[in-house]
Amino acid sequence: MQALLDTHALLWWLDGDKRLSEPARDFIGEEANTVFVSASSAWEIASKVRIGKLPGAVEAAAGLAAAVTSQGFTELPISITDGNRAGSLPGTSPGALWRRRRSSPPFRPAKRWN
């Protein structure tokens, strides 16, 4: 089976956060499954670190590519065509996404990043 992790799921997985459901942890941890991580997650994490929304994730942002590789996840790049398609969907705007996620709890980096 395959799954694309959203940014919260990715951060919660890397941090061992219990907010990630047990079925999600089981799926992600199953080596037979393919777990994708989008380049948009790296963009979102780096952007939120920069503007102070994820102050505890500086190390996570810097080591994200290595973490994705070490977990055996598959990087999912975003093409210009993908961006155009996403931007054309009704009700999707980058501003709406950021406003909707403002109430997200702050990320706490995992001890294992050290």
The string of pLDDT tens digits covering residues 12-36 is 999 899 999 999 999 999 999 999 9
99-106 mean pLDDT:
52
Q: Compute the chain's Rg from CA coordinates.
A: 14
Domain that holds residue 43: 2-113
Global confidence as pTM = 0.70
Across 44-58, b (16+ Cβ under 10 Å) vs e yields: bbbebbeeebbeebe
9 phi/psi in degrees, rounded to 5: -60, -40
Number of domains in the chain: 1
Report pLDDT digits (tens) over 2-18. Answer: 999 999 999 999 989 99
CATH of the domain at 35: 3.40.50
Quick one: CA torsion of 92, 93, 94, 99, rounded to 10 degrees?
-90
- Other Cβ atoms within 10 Å of 61 Cβ, number: 18
Question: Residue length, the chain?
Answer: 114
